Amino acid sequence: MSSEPSLYERLGGYDAIAALSVDLVQRLQADSQLGRFWQHRGEDGIRREKQLLIDFLCASAGGPMYYTGRDMTTTHKGMKITESDWQVFLGHLKDSIAKFELPAKEAADVLGFVESTKSEMVEA
């Protein structure tokens, strides 16, 4: 068994992952291309979505969270997320990572994990 701390621990735990997630969602909502995904959404739905994202990322990073949401394919099916959308999203993710000054190894691990979900989200 590896003695290396989990990515969850290396990122700083729940509060750090939550802060990065909230920052990222705010960037995505404000984006002229990606903002369409949050149009006509109520505040409660957006809050729930942020919490599901936090839970998903914490659980995926090895934290003590249980993710109760749907799988990524089901969640994003029919949203018509394009390769262009994905690239804009990655730019915002990289900006959020830079804002919170993640060390290079953790930043690479986060980006690697997110990249592994691409085929579950991009449709067109």
For residue range 61-109, what is the model confidence (pLDDT) as tens digits?
999 989 999 999 999 999 999 999 999 999 999 999 999 999 999 999 9
Q: What percentage of the chain reaches a pLDDT higher than 90? A: 93
**Pick from 67, 54, 60: nearest CA to 14:** 54
CATH at 33: 1.10.490.10
Q: Is residue 20 in some structural domain?
A: yes
Q: Is residue 1 in some structural domain?
A: no
- Which structure tokens are listed for 100? 């919170």
Q: Is residue 44 in some structural domain?
A: yes
Q: Is residue 78 in some structural domain?
A: yes
Q: Is residue 2 in some structural domain?
A: no
Q: Is residue 38 in some structural domain?
A: yes
Q: Is residue 65 in some structural domain?
A: yes
Rounded to whole angstroms, the Cα distance separating 69 from 51 reads: 10
Alpha helices in the chain (DSSP H): 7-11, 13-30, 43-60, 72-76, 83-99, 104-116, 118-121
Domain, as residue range, for 107? 7-121
Q: Is residue 26 in some structural domain?
A: yes
Domain count, the chain: 1
Rounded to whole angstroms, the Cα distance separating 3 from 53 reads: 27
